[in-house]
């Protein structure tokens, strides 16, 4: 399996969870220092083999190279978890086209490039899991490109479910709420109090990893194109 953004947070928890269940894991991330730290952690969690792959998911050639390295080492690709993500905080009147493209290239096109590779190389029974966000459904000020990219990721999931079905490849999305990772606490909206986080609404990376593990597994053999909200009920509050 390949997990993008696998060197930190939800991606690392997912790599450990699937590794503990016997998956041979490829960690695709563009942060070499975090990759170096993550590899022994994933091994210690029980993964039989771990391949770190320095990869910027926004670069199609690097994505293709990561998939080729996976096939060269493990001979197959069963699961892709599109988890790498990035946020930027600016009011609409200050955002530039370049800002939008930077976010869309990582949060949307990165998932597309890996889905394309999955469709080229996966055998029937394969699964793609996209890590979107509750921002795909309800959002706040200053994160327009991120919210748009995550909403579009749900549309990509639907398209991939439709086109992947006949190939025996399932595509589904997880929509995390607030999760205790560096991305949450680095969020200026959270730091400033504009986005209020009730401690009971904060989940653990392992909570999201469990949902991803389910969607990637044969237990979800009849689950195709679904959007699984994993937010402790946060979106339901008045
Ligand atoms: N933490 C939350 O509250 C939360 C909520 C909803 C959705 N999410 C989503 O979960 C995913 C993981 O977030 P996290 O909270 O674990 O964040 P994180 O910052 O802990 O980890 C993100 C990882 O992605 C990697 N990454 C970023 N851009 C990359 C690129 N271009 N190429 C390769 N790797 C790249 C980073 O190096 C890092 O290792 C993201 O898609 C995020 O949008 C997080």
What is the pLDDT at residue 192?
A: 86
Report the pLDDT value the prediction gives residue 195, as an integer from 0 to 100: 81
User: Is residue 193 predicted with pLDDT exceeding 90?
Assistant: no
Q: Whose CA is nearest to atom 30 of ligand 1?
A: 56
| 61: three-class secondary structure by DSSP | helix
0.75 exceeded by the pTM?
yes
CA of 8 to the centre of ligand 1 (A): 7
Question: Catalytic positions, please?
Answer: 146
What's the CA gap between 91 and 146, in Å, rounded?
Answer: 12
Give the number of the atom of ligand 1 that is nearest the alpha carbon of residue 11. 16
pLDDT digit string, tens, across residues 107-121: 999 999 999 999 999
pLDDT band at residue 52 using 50, 70 and 90 as cut-offs: very high
Instruction: Tell me if 112 sits within 8 A of 207, measured CB to CB.
Output: no
Are the C-beta atoms of 10 and 179 separated by less than 8 Å?
yes
Cα–Cα dist 107/149, whole Å: 6
Q: Give me the torsion for CA of 226, 160, 136, 94, rounded to 10°.
A: 180
How many secondary structure helices (H) and strands (E) does the chain include?
A: 9, 7
Burial state string for 135-168 with b = 16 or more CB within 10 A and e = fewer than 16: bbbebeebbbbbbbbbbbbbebbeebbeebeeee
Domains (range + CATH), the chain: 2-231 (3.40.50.720)
**Contact by Cβ (8 Å): 194, 140:** yes
Distance of alpha carbon 100 from alpha carbon 90, whole angstroms: 11
Query: Could you tell me the pLDDT band of residue 183, with boundaries at 50, 70 and 90?
Result: confident
Range 150-176 average pLDDT: 99
Residues touching ligand 1 (Cβ under 6 Å) are 4-5, 7-11, 29-31, 34, 55-58, 83-86, 106, 131, 133, 176, 178-179, 181-184
- Give residue 235 CA to ligand 1 midpoint distance, Å: 20
The average confidence (pLDDT) of the chain is 97
CA of 166 relative to ligand 1 center, distance in Å: 31
Q: What is the DSSP string of 185-237?
A: HT-HHHHHTSS---GGGPBPHHHHHHHHHHHHSGGGTT--S-EEEESTTGGG-
Q: In the sheet that 2-4 helps form, which strands lie side by side, from edge to edge? A: 50-54, 25-29, 2-4, 79-82, 127-131, 170-176, 227-230
């Amino acid at each position: 399996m390949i997990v993008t953004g696998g060197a930190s947070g939800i991606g690392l928890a997912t790599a450990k969870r699937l590794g503990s269940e016997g998956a041979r894991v490829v960690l695709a991330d563009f942060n070499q220092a975090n990759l170096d730290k993550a590899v022994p952690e994933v091994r210690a969690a029980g993964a039989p083999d771990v391949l770190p792959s320095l990869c910027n998911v926004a670069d199609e050639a690097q994505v293709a190279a990561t998939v080729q390295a996976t096939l060269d080492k493990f001979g197959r690709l069963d699961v892709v978890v599109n988890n790498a993500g990035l946020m930027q905080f600016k009011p609409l009147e200050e955002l530039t086209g370049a800002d939008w493209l930077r976010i869309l290239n990582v949060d949307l096109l990165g998932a597309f490039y890996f889905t394309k590779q999955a469709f080229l190389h996966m055998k029937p029974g394969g699964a793609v899991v996209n890590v979107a966000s509750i921002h795909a459904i309800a959002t706040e000020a200053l994160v327009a490109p991120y919210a748009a990219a995550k909403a579009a990721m749900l549309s990509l999931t639907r398209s991939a479910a439709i086109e992947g079905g006949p190939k025996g490849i399932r595509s589904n999305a997880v929509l995390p709420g607030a999760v205790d990772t560096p991305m949450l606490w680095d969020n200026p909206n959270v730091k400033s109090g504009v986005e209020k986080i009730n401690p009971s609404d904060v989940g653990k990376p392992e909570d999201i990893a469990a949902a991803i593990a389910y969607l990637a597994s044969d237990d979800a053999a009849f689950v195709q194109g679904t959007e699984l909200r994993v937010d402790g009920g946060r979106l339901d509050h008045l």
